[in-house]
Structure 1
């Protein structure tokens, strides 16, 4: 009896959290999967997926392109910033960078989308600043409110998260390996890519996987920054529901998003098993 009481108490302790996960995640997930594969007559069907591919095949490819490019760009910028913070010489520039890069971390995606909408417009802050500095003529300003604006917004928003994880992992490394590489004549760039980055690759992989999933689920940025076609699947799902009440096709698009997320998780698990991180 004494052994059962802690077990029951532990279950009661986590029961509210389990109930929230079941109500807000597992039930919607199960309902979405069921509705995507079920026809109006209640029989299994793939017609909803056929309709989704017929109407939104271009948007599916566009979504994959945007998320992959944004993830790669986020990785490049985060590696550069983390390398400067950890391997750079202490100074005002490094301290200022360490403060500035974290600023977007506290801004919601919807606010980031609105900020970029005014910043990247043809007559927005970016072009007006370039004109004021004399770098371009007033007629040379170009709008970036298209796929480029989505990528810029995603990268700007996700770089702080990835950099925090990456810089923290770099700072926790044994400095002896870094000092040894520097003493043997390796520069900062070579030390970063040959010594530091291989040791923190698991942390970088986790951060990029989470960023991939996050960017795949954002609705506000593609809708606010680039409202034209092609667009991302989140906008298509919202449009099918709000305009037509077509939950079946929206659920089919959602299942395709699940598949993309599962692919990213599979690559992460495969990498972790190969490198021995998850063993």
Structure 2
């Protein structure tokens, strides 16, 4: 048996690249952001925090609402899609849905923003199609280049990702339990909500946590679809740096973003620990 010290050294060598990435790209920037948020011309204080609250409190609340609403819609639509992919009886419909739902995965967010900017505008493709049917007149059309467009973009982009993870988890479940419940007369919606979904809840939480982190980091979509106030804090961060070189307020906004994603991660970890204790 090789000595213990060389084995430990080999393990450290193997994890060194990953550890270096975490330290250089996450820990050091996080520490610098924390220090920068409280650093002022006179030393350290709460000047940047008070300025951020005065200027961007509405935008922070707006960001929280948009992310929460988008996550809720993503969860609902993904559960329905995954449930039909797992429990659906129409083979052609299942195959068509399986082929279609993945496409947004390959579209970058900046392209999503540009597509929806053209599609959701007052004179965009969506309204032109509706006008061509005679349902409304050109004067009655409305645009969705506001918070609704941001929600639509986030949901359209993230539903395939969550569905992919959730459908895979559902496909790995024991079919015997599902078939037994179906033989006892359970409907598909009851099968989904009472038997299938509880068994894949942890996967859904992981997918939603990753989606929230992704949505919190996107700049292009709110910048293209909702540039006016209130807007998301990613736009505010870019504006403070590019227009004023104000890294203090930008760092405070970054800490707020970190707090929102940390809250979601804490909810996930708390639910996971409860499940493991059981």
Bin the TM-score by the shorter chain. over 0.9
Report Cα offsets for 1:4-62 as digits up to 9, x if no partner: 2233233223323322222222111110001112222323x122111100000000000
Report Cα offsets for 1:78-121 as digits up to 9, x if no partner: 01100111100142222111111100011111111111111111
- Indicate the residue corresponding to 2:143 in structure 1: 143
Aligned residue pairs, count: 277
Q: Aligned partners of 1:115 and 1:93: how far apart in 2?
A: 26
C-alpha displacement at 1:130, in angstroms?
1.8
- Indicate the residue corresponding to 1:12 in structure 2: 13
- Indicate the residue corresponding to 2:251 in structure 1: 251
- Indicate the residue corresponding to 1:61 in structure 2: 61
| Matching of residues 121-200 of structure 1 within 5 Å | 121-200=121-200
Provide TM-score, normalisation by structure 1.
Answer: 0.95
- Indicate the residue corresponding to 2:70 in structure 1: 70
Task: Name the SS for the 1:276 alignment partner.
Answer: helix
- More moved, 125-134 vs 236-245: 125-134
- More moved, 3-12 vs 161-170: 3-12
- More moved, 259-268 vs 150-159: 259-268
Q: Aligned partners of 2:164 and 2:94: how far apart in 1?
A: 15
Report Cα offsets for 1:229-263 as digits up to 9, x if no partner: 11001000110000000000110111111111111
Task: Name the SS for the 2:221 alignment partner.
Answer: helix
| Matching of residues 108-119 of structure 1 within 5 Å | 108-119=108-119
Q: Aligned partners of 1:142 and 1:180: how far apart in 2?
A: 49
Provide TM-score, normalisation by structure 2.
Answer: 0.95
- More moved, 31-40 vs 50-59: 31-40
C-alpha displacement at 1:180, in angstroms?
1.3
Q: Aligned partners of 1:133 and 1:170: how far apart in 2?
A: 40
- Indicate the residue corresponding to 2:228 in structure 1: 228
- Indicate the residue corresponding to 2:104 in structure 1: 104
Q: Aligned partners of 1:208 and 1:134: how far apart in 2?
A: 39
- More moved, 137-146 vs 116-125: 137-146
- Indicate the residue corresponding to 2:239 in structure 1: 239
- Indicate the residue corresponding to 2:29 in structure 1: 28
C-alpha displacement at 1:214, in angstroms?
1.1
- Mapped pair 1:88 → 2:119: no
Gaps of 5+ in 1: none
Task: Name the SS for the 1:122 alignment partner.
Answer: coil
Task: Name the SS for the 1:268 alignment partner.
Answer: helix
Describe the shift of the 1:122–1:207 C-alpha distance in structure 2 as closer, same or farther (beyond 3 A): same
Q: Aligned partners of 2:268 and 2:147: how far apart in 1?
A: 26
Instruction: Please report the RMSD computed on the Cα atoms of aligned residues, expressed in angstroms.
Output: 1.5
Runs of 4+, deviation exceeding 6 Å: none
C-alpha displacement at 1:200, in angstroms?
0.8
C-alpha displacement at 1:159, in angstroms?
0.2
